[in-house]
Amino acid sequence: MASLSLRNVIKRYGHGPKANQVIHGVSAEIGDHEFIVIVGPSGCGKSTLLRMVAGLEDISAGDILIGDRVVNNLEPAERDIAMVFQNYALYPHMSVFDNMAYGLKIAKVPSAEIKVRVDKAARILELGHLLDRKPRQLSGGQRQRVAMGRAIVRQPKVFLFDEPLSNLDAKLRAQTRLEIQKLHRELGITSLFVTHDQVEAMTLAQRIIVMNGGVMDQFATPEEVYSRPATTFVASFIGSPPMNLLKHAPGVRPGTILGIRPEHLMLDPNGWSVQVEQVELLGAERLIYGRIGEEQLVMRVDESQPAAVAGDTMRIAARPEKLHWFDAGSGKRMK
Ligand SMILES: Nc1ncnc2c1ncn2[C@@H]1O[C@H](COP(=O)(O)OP(=O)(O)OP(=O)(O)O)[C@@H](O)[C@H]1O
């Protein structure tokens, strides 16, 4: 196992004046055994970053190290990594056992050793009873476990996951998330996991890298990303519904943005006057959408709060210890 270092990594597609830079100098030190999730919207550069670590894309500038070895110019097969893809990429004509064993056979690992490794992976992933089946005889979740098994048997130093859960339905996604966590607890392999799903990021990661247009906006624990977002982008990307970002509400100085999470607003007779526009019932909670002047905002309340309906006027305030202030020009957190 190993640490993973990204040092001022840059990626450009194309050359000369037409070159398109898509990763703008990303640096991150990832410890041995850590589980890191890279999250961000479509096109922010997540897959490019992962593919550079895997060796499937050249690095335009900067360094990538696995352990203390610079891997910039190493072939994927020389990097001691294993990658799990979104589409599983299993061989349809091979059994589960052979799919898991294939990479080891190619690497000329002795067959007795292959059997030990595949059996161990199958036990961890609860695939033992399925080893003779073909991929078409498996459910989507089982296929994804075979894809993970194939990665495990290689005993890589680093695991790379490229949106591995996005083809699964919601229930299976939640279940597979738990399995990945269990796998990480048992094996402790340094992992880099790409997703556009903030829930996946928050639940799986020990630390999260939030990407925004090829720039790393924040690299921190899920708690910190949520409670101290580094930029307005992070504030609005993580959390559902997203943080309210107010420029024109009373008390907000020009040039600044006030951030308040929906759950940190409460009724207060001395607070802002809000026109209620819509109310959504979510079981135990309600979302109240309203307006202060030109600004839209959303408040999350529980059953203990009085009901509101569209057309009401409410007075609300934010919990003072839960305010976030950002610079309106740069979008960066001020305190
Ligand atoms: N081969 C390529 N040539 C030119 N530009 C590319 C190439 N591959 C990706 N890009 C561009 O690089 C940027 C980052 O793409 P990337 O696939 O890394 O984003 P992503 O965050 O993984 O998005 P998604 O979630 O949609 O997969 C995008 O603007 C994309 O258009």
> For residue range 146-193, what is the model confidence (pLDDT) as tens digits?
998 998 898 899 999 998 888 788 888 888 888 889 889 988 999 999
- Name 6's Cβ contacts closer than 8 Å, sequence gap at least 6: 26, 27, 28, 29, 30, 49, 53, 62, 63, 64
User: Rounded CA gap, 38 and 192, in Å?
Assistant: 7
Q: Looking at the predicted structure, is the pLDDT value of residue 18 above 90?
A: no
Q: Which pLDDT belongs to residue 279? A: 93
Arithmetic mean of pLDDT, 202-231: 97
Determine the pLDDT at residue 289: 96
Mean pLDDT, residues 68-96: 90
How close is the Cα of 10 to the center of ligand 1, in Å? 13
Same fold, 4-234 and 241-327: no
Query: So what's the pLDDT on residue 334?
Result: 95
Q: How far is the CA of 42 from the centre of ligand 1 (A)?
A: 8
Q: How large is the average pLDDT for residues 223-248?
A: 95
Ligand 1 pocket, Cβ-based, cut-off 6 angstroms: 13, 20, 22, 40, 42-48, 196
> According to CATH, what is the number of the domain 4-234?
3.40.50.300
Among the ranges given (83-97, 230-244, 286-300, 317-331), the one the predictor scored with the smallest mean pLDDT: 83-97
Alpha-carbon distance 242 to 76, whole Å? 38
Quote the distance between the C-alpha of residue 214 and its chain's center: 15
Residue 54 CA to ligand 1 center (angstroms) comes to 15
Region 235-263: mean pLDDT is 94
Q: Of all helices (H) and strands (E), which one includes residue 199? A: helix 198-204
Atom 16 (ligand 1) nearest CA: 45
Euclidean distance between CA atoms 270 and 250, whole angstroms = 12
**Average pLDDT over every residue of 45-62:** 95
Query: Does the pLDDT at position 81 exceed 80?
Result: yes
Mutate to test the pocket of ligand 1, among 15, 23, 47 (most ligand atoms within 8 A of CB): 47
Specify the CATH number of the domain 241-327. 2.40.50.140
> Residue 295: phi, psi to the nearest 5?
-90, 135
The predicted structure's pLDDT at residue 5: 97
What's the 234 CA to ligand 1 centre distance in angstroms?
A: 20
Please compute the mean of the pLDDT values over residues 284-310 and round it to a whole number: 89
- Detail the DSSP E strand segments found in the chain: 4-13, 20-30, 35-39, 61-66, 69-70, 81-84, 158-162, 190-195, 207-212, 215-220, 244-246, 256-260, 265-282, 285-292, 295-302, 313-318, 324-327
Q: Would you kindly state where each structural domain of the chain is located, as residue ranges?
A: 4-234, 241-327
For the stretch 280-296, pLDDT in tens is 988 889 999 999 988 99
